[in-house]
Amino acid sequence: MMEGSDTEAPSSIETQAANFRRAIQYWLDKSTIHIIPRWTLFVFLLAIFFLRIYLIQGYFIVAYGLGIFLLNNFIAFLSPLEDPTDVGGQRDDGLSLPSTAKEGKEYRPFARRLPEFKFWLACARGAATSLLMTFFSVFDVPVFWPILLMYFGVLFFMTMKRQIGHMYKHKYVPISFGKLKYKDAGKEKGEFGGGMAGSIGTTAQNGGGPAPGMMGGGGAVRRR
């Protein structure tokens, strides 16, 4: 009996952990299309974190680490998927930057090294982790915060200057624009809108007969 319970306990814990991860992944997948609410949540977490830093007057080293982490992810978000300086790389996947005038006229969405959803997820996790660290005194390292602020400002300026220079040199903008957007895109309308429901509704409107245009294209059959 004891041996059976010992072997069943880990499987039960693993099952619950798998269900928990599956639930989290489900809600993350559901949130991919809700861009504004996702970033509103990140701004809220960031505001709570800095409010706590201001009230406690401590954990400045945690704030500095969070700033470096967010800066690195922001640079990856602005960078292309493939480095344009890699002249030996393959460019036949359609994700690289245009290298000719003909390719430059074609619309190509900007392929990022770090996609928007992963960028948000990393930032939200970083802000939540930093907020959690402020509840443990071991992370409250005494430091002169104006030096950290000045060093972060210089680092941010130099990093963004290099990134903007890279964008200007290779003539790319990390924003996808120019793609046509159609009204009511993705909505099912018309004769066959809604799959079987649309076809049934069309059949009912025609008195139970087949919908117009669904007859055979050969016309009437001539009998000899």
Is the Cβ–Cβ distance between 108 and 179 less than 8 Å? Answer: no
- Taken in order 153, 155, 156, 160, the sign of the CA dihedral is positive
Tokens representing 143? Answer: 């430091």
pLDDT at 5 over 60: no
Report the distance separating Cα 181 and Cα 130, nearest Å.
39
Q: What is the pLDDT of residue 197?
A: 47
* Average pLDDT value for residue range 17-39: 92
* Average pLDDT value for residue range 180-187: 52
Q: What is the pLDDT of residue 72?
A: 95
The label of the residue with tokens 């599956």 reads: 22
CA 25 to chain centre: 13
* Average pLDDT value for residue range 14-38: 91
Q: What is the pLDDT of residue 224?
A: 46
| 48 contact partners, CB below 8 Å, separation of at least 6 | 131
* Average pLDDT value for residue range 103-119: 75
Name beta bridge partners: 198. Answer: none
Residue 34's pLDDT band (boundaries 50, 70, 90)? very high
Mean pLDDT of the chain: 76
Closest CA to 123 of 203, 60, 214, 38: 38
| More confident: 9 or 169 | 169
pLDDT at 55 over 60: yes
* Average pLDDT value for residue range 84-112: 56
Is the Cβ–Cβ distance between 142 and 132 less than 8 Å? Answer: no
pLDDT at 124 over 80: yes
Is the Cβ–Cβ distance between 31 and 116 less than 8 Å? Answer: no
The dihedral region occupied by 25, where left means phi > 0, alpha psi between -120 and 50, and beta the remainder, is: alpha
Q: For the CA atoms of 52, 55, 59, 64, what is the dihedral angle to 10 degrees? A: 70
* Average pLDDT value for residue range 176-204: 51
| More confident: 214 or 31 | 31
Is the Cβ–Cβ distance between 139 and 62 less than 8 Å? Answer: yes
CA 220 to chain centre: 56
Q: What is the pLDDT of residue 43?
A: 97
pLDDT at 134 over 90: yes
Q: What is the pLDDT of residue 183?
A: 58
| More confident: 152 or 217 | 152
